[in-house]
């Protein structure tokens, strides 16, 4: 039987100050905004920006390109000492 509550344990919480320990943004510090427990990923404020392209939904409306933060695996962040 599958477990309906797929909430995996993650070593950080929303609002924690974390430091990037791996990846392109290594060494940067930010706050946890959101946690995706099922995928073990977190969104860190000000880190890992990307672009999201969206088509127009109605005729005459133009599409847009949004700059937003993308999730990072929780193993790539470490809590900052306070």
Q: How do the domains of the chain map onto residue ranges?
A: 17-79
- Select from 2.30.30, 2.20.25, 2.60.40, 1.25.40 the CATH code of 17-79: 2.30.30
- 9 Cβ contact partners less than 8 Å away, ≥ 6 residues apart: none
In tens digits, the chain (82 residues) has pLDDT values of: 555 666 778 999 999 999 999 999 999 999 999 999 999 999 999 999 999 999 998 898 899 999 999 999 999 999 997 6
Go through 21-34 and write b for each residue having 16 or more CB atoms within 10 A of its CB, e for each that does not.
eeeebeeeebebee
Asked if 70 contacts 49 with a C-beta cutoff of 8 angstroms, the reply is: yes
Whole-structure pTM value: 0.78
């Amino acid at each position: 039987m599958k477990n309906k509550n797929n909430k995996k344990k993650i070593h950080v919480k929303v609002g924690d100050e974390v430091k990037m320990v791996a990846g392109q943004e290594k060494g940067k510090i930010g706050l946890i905004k959101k946690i995706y427990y099922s995928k073990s990923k977190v969104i860190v404020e000000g880190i890992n920006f990307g672009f999201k392209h969206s088509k127009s939904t109605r005729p005459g409306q133009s599409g847009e390109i949004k700059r937003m933060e993308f999730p990072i695996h929780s193993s790539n962040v470490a809590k900052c000492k306070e």
